[in-house]
Structure 1
Amino acid sequence: MLSWIYLGIAVIFEITVAISAGNAQGFTKPGWTAATLISGAIATFFLSLALLEFDVGVGYSIWTSTAGVGIVILGAIFFNEKLNGKKLFGIALVIGGVIGLRMSGAA
């Protein structure tokens, strides 16, 4: 159970990496650059803790895919990015994949 908490924390910080990197403008903005690097380190740390119990492939796949979905959703909410039918279909496929990985019993 603790591995899922670690993975959730890693996902939150991975989403923070993406948002920070987008605002760092090629690492020309020091504050956003620092936020990108620090949140990346924290995300990787918690992922490594989660991978003590998850199979590496399963844990990493769940981490990247759920973070990706979170980034798409937050982009639509906060950055006026379009959320169309194709993106929603893609999100549904990712969620199905995560459920399939979870059902594999790898953690």
Structure 2
Amino acid sequence: MKYLFLGLAIAFELLGSSFLKVSNGFSKLIPSVVTIISFIICFYFLSLALRFIPLSVAYAIWGGLGIVLTTAISVIIFKQSLDLPAVIGITLIVLGVIIMNVFSKAATH
């Protein structure tokens, strides 16, 4: 259940970030409302996940997957491009999350 909460937090963060782009600086009402509601729901589910998952682990997974999936959305939906340094940076973030979860004793589940 704890990873379901974390997954929902990530999903609503992705929705909120995507609509933040569409809101055009909060100048469009509906995308702005979707953004705000999505982030409220996101943080609610993140808070539930933090009852069971250490903050360092939950935040690393939430932030890491959020970055990777938001980047994928920006490339696929918004037709934005990535250069080599961006790809390397995102890869390092993913590797950091994996290393933390697999090898760190601080990341006890």
- Structure 1 gap segments, 5+ residues each: none
**Residue equivalent to 1:7:** 6
Q: Tell me the TM-score normalised to structure 1 length.
A: 0.89
Matches within 5 A, 1:84-103: 84-103=83-102
**Residue equivalent to 2:70:** 71
CA distance in 1, matches of 2:31, 2:84: 32
**Residue equivalent to 1:48:** 47
Cα deviation, 1:7-47, whole Å, max 9, x if unaligned, reads 11111111111111111122121101110011001111110
Cα deviation, 1:61-99, whole Å, max 9, x if unaligned, reads 221221011111111111111122222211211111111
Identical residues among aligned pairs (%): 31
CA distance in 2, matches of 1:4, 1:33: 28
What amino acid sits opposite 2:32 in the alignment? T
CA distance in 2, matches of 1:45, 1:93: 28
- Structure 2 gap segments, 5+ residues each: none
* Count of aligned positions: 106
Q: Tell me the TM-score normalised to structure 2 length.
A: 0.88
**Residue equivalent to 1:82:** 81
Instruction: Report the CA distance between 1:100 and its aligned residue.
Output: 1.7
User: Greater shift after overlay, 83-92 or 34-43?
Assistant: 83-92
CA distance in 2, matches of 1:98, 1:51: 17
What amino acid sits opposite 1:19 in the alignment? S
Instruction: Report the CA distance between 1:58 and its aligned residue.
Output: 2.2
